[in-house]
Structure 1
Amino acid sequence: MAPFTSPFTMGISDQDGFTTSDPRRRRRLLDRVEEAGLDHVSVGDHISFHDGSGFDGMITANTMLSSHDRLSVLIGIYLLGLRHPMATARQLSTLSQAAPGRLTLGVGVGGEDRREVSNAGVDPRTRGRRLDEALMLVRRLLTGEEVSHEGEFFRLDGARILPAPDPGIPIVIGGKGDVAVRRTAESGDGWLGIFCSARRFAETRERILEAASGLDRPTPSWFGVNVWCGLDTDPRRARELLAAKMQGLYHLPYEKFQYIAPAGTPEQVAEFLLPFVESGAEHITVIPVGSGVEAEIDAVAALREQLGRAVGAARE
């Protein structure tokens, strides 16, 4: 029998734990992530979310990349529609120079907190169109070509960003619904799902591939999902920890998320994630909530092992 090859990669997002002010502790934690067999670290992005909390995705990505020599970083998702494409392309070029081939950029519109959008100087009603225009310009600028553009939101005159990232930086689209399908097919290297069921993930993936089939550009090939997970040896404790964290961040009761944000032991959460892998999710990022960052890393490693076993058993 041929050896089992995992059809998925698994990463971890732990914004609070990895952004510790102690650089030695941060390096130890990232070493622990690598030793646990995880593939990447994911960082989020918010300017001022609900009560003013936030974390700049580019700066945090740079912190992670400079603190470890091998782990890859996924920014998921970066609120590109709230930034200028010229500045964004420069940041990406600089990150690529320092850590070539180790960054994937997820982009989206955000909007869970409309004041975050409006306080950034963007009309919430136009943030989608602004993202489309910014995304198109970032992609052009990252080729190193000279760009002149007169659009609804941005004007560039002979703009250029050098050096162009080599290898290129994959840009994946976050979000859901018709807009995410259209944006991924037209402008993305792939799609990053969040807050969706496995059934919705499978449907969206198929729609993207169908929409992209007739376009004169590479077919999106990167499909991943971010999943909030409560992880503990005691399922009840896992649910309590996850509920408290999500209610504090999103100002909504956990019951709004319980069917798309599982809580339990690694084996129980692996059962939840198995249909995503079977639906084509090749990149899974776990946003864990547990009793501490070290315990969360270990729990995600156990989850990866359990999910690998489940996938192997399903394919026998």
Structure 2
Amino acid sequence: MTTLGTVFLPQLPPERLRDVVRAADAAGLEELWLWEDCFLEGGLTTAAAALAYTERLRVGVGLLPVPLRNVALSAMEIATLVRLFPGRAVIAAGHGVQDWMGQVGARVASPLTLLREYTTALRALLRGERVSTEGRYVRLDGVALDWPPPAPVPILLGATGDRTLRLSGEVGDGTVLTGGTDPAAVRRALTLVGEGRTAAGRTGPHEVVVYLHAATGPTAAERIAAERARWGYADPSKDVSVAGDEHAVADAVHRWAEAGATSVVLQPTADDPDPEGFVRFVAERVRPLVG
């Protein structure tokens, strides 16, 4: 069964979060995803608030840019979240937008090396291990959490390039694919992830989350066209968005699910006139049509 979610876009002011979360919770939405885009809203801060507003909604942070965060601090914050809200916090990490990393003095020469070192150390810390490592970027000396999670915490990786997709299979527990990833690109990404998993001898489930631009309502087509232009999707035939009623949106979700996505996260347009209404639309009208 495909998991269905939406995004609370950080272009909305933080004070809108509670109403959107409560609307999602009341409507029965499965997942709400948050972004840590510079320089908008903190991913783990908003995740903690969103989780506290609801008793059942899963909240994903997709993704945490690792150059911004010391790995020990991330481990402390993630462990706190998952102990406070068992089974409901979903965490993804990634390179971050390199221009933004440069703006804050955090850009590194080898983002791939950093992500490998960081993810390896983060997973070990969250397993409750005492970690000492002297990597190119990640250096820890006998660090262990006093309050580790009681169970393993999956760490997903955001990935676009071939090498990062292979790395996600090698060291990650799942992969987050950005909006603009069409079904054919999902299949190709899964092949690369699979190569990484095989090389590392990893088996078991690997979650695949993909963002899908979506809009509904009387102005849906116009808003999606503007959104595609904003994101640079020049080819009008590229299958990276959907505009229409619940049947059109559900059909699109099926295409991505058939390509291998285990979770399809519908990404509203930045100018959606009714964010609360969008989450209700997804939960109440699209979800019954998605197997």
Please, what TM-score do these two structures have when normalized by structure 2?
0.88
Letter of the 2:223 partner, please give it.
Answer: L
Partner in structure 1 of residue 6 of structure 2: 12
**Structure 1 residues 253 and 184, CA gap change in structure 2 (3 angstroms):** closer
**Structure 1 residues 185 and 145, CA gap change in structure 2 (3 angstroms):** same
Contact 1:209/1:219, CA 8 A, preserved across alignment: no
Partner in structure 2 of residue 172 of structure 1: 156
Aligned residue runs from structure 1 range 88-237, under 5 A: 88-111=74-97, 114-194=98-178, 195-232=180-217, 234=218, 237=219
Letter of the 1:303 partner, please give it.
Answer: V
Matches of 1:22 and 1:177, distance apart in 2 = 34
Considering Cα pairs closer than 8 Å and 6+ residues apart, tell me whether 1 or 2 has the greater RCO. 2
**Structure 1 residues 217 and 71, CA gap change in structure 2 (3 angstroms):** same
Matches of 1:275 and 1:108, distance apart in 2 = 26
Partner in structure 1 of residue 257 of structure 2: 277
**Structure 1 residues 175 and 146, CA gap change in structure 2 (3 angstroms):** same
1:79 equivalenced with 2:65 (yes/no): yes
Shift of 1:171: 0.9
Matches of 1:36 and 1:56, distance apart in 2 = 25
Matches of 1:230 and 1:117, distance apart in 2 = 31
- Post-superposition Cα deviations, 1:123-154, rounded to whole Å, max 9, x if no partner, equal 35422322221111111111111111111112
**Structure 1 residues 20 and 109, CA gap change in structure 2 (3 angstroms):** closer
Partner in structure 2 of residue 3 of structure 1: none
Shift of 1:245: 5.5
Matches of 1:214 and 1:254, distance apart in 2 = 34
1:64 equivalenced with 2:65 (yes/no): no
Partner in structure 2 of residue 51 of structure 1: none
**Structure 1 residues 115 and 200, CA gap change in structure 2 (3 angstroms):** closer
1:30 equivalenced with 2:15 (yes/no): no
CA RMSD of the aligned region, Å?
2.5
Shift of 1:220: 4.6
SS of the residue 2:5 aligns to: strand
**Structure 1 residues 246 and 80, CA gap change in structure 2 (3 angstroms):** farther
**Structure 1 residues 165 and 218, CA gap change in structure 2 (3 angstroms):** farther
Matches of 2:235 and 2:36, distance apart in 1 = 22
Matches of 1:223 and 1:90, distance apart in 2 = 25
- Post-superposition Cα deviations, 1:90-113, rounded to whole Å, max 9, x if no partner, equal 1111112211211111111122xx
Shift of 1:191: 1.3
After superposing the two structures, state which structure 1 stretch, 272-281 or 214-223, moved more: 214-223
Shift of 1:188: 0.8
Contact 1:93/1:142, CA 8 A, preserved across alignment: yes
**Structure 1 residues 125 and 260, CA gap change in structure 2 (3 angstroms):** farther
- Post-superposition Cα deviations, 1:163-198, rounded to whole Å, max 9, x if no partner, equal 211232211111123223321221111111122111
Matches of 2:249 and 2:268, distance apart in 1 = 11
Query: Which stretches in structure 2 are left out of the alignment for 5+ residues?
Result: none
- Post-superposition Cα deviations, 1:59-86, rounded to whole Å, max 9, x if no partner, equal 1111101111211111111112332101
Letter of the 2:247 partner, please give it.
Answer: E
Aligned residue runs from structure 1 range 35-46, under 5 A: 35-46=26-37
SS of the residue 1:209 aligns to: helix
Aligned-residue sequence identity (percent) comes to 25
Tell me how many residue pairs correspond in the alignment. 286
Query: Which stretches in structure 1 are left out of the alignment for 5+ residues?
Result: 1-6, 49-53, 312-316
Contact 2:170/2:199, CA 8 A, preserved across alignment: no
**Structure 1 residues 67 and 231, CA gap change in structure 2 (3 angstroms):** same
Larger radius of gyration: 1
Contact 2:183/2:239, CA 8 A, preserved across alignment: no
SS of the residue 1:182 aligns to: helix
Contact 2:25/2:54, CA 8 A, preserved across alignment: no
SS of the residue 2:150 aligns to: coil
Letter of the 2:208 partner, please give it.
Answer: F
SS of the residue 1:47 aligns to: coil
**Structure 1 residues 179 and 81, CA gap change in structure 2 (3 angstroms):** farther
Matches of 1:253 and 1:207, distance apart in 2 = 25
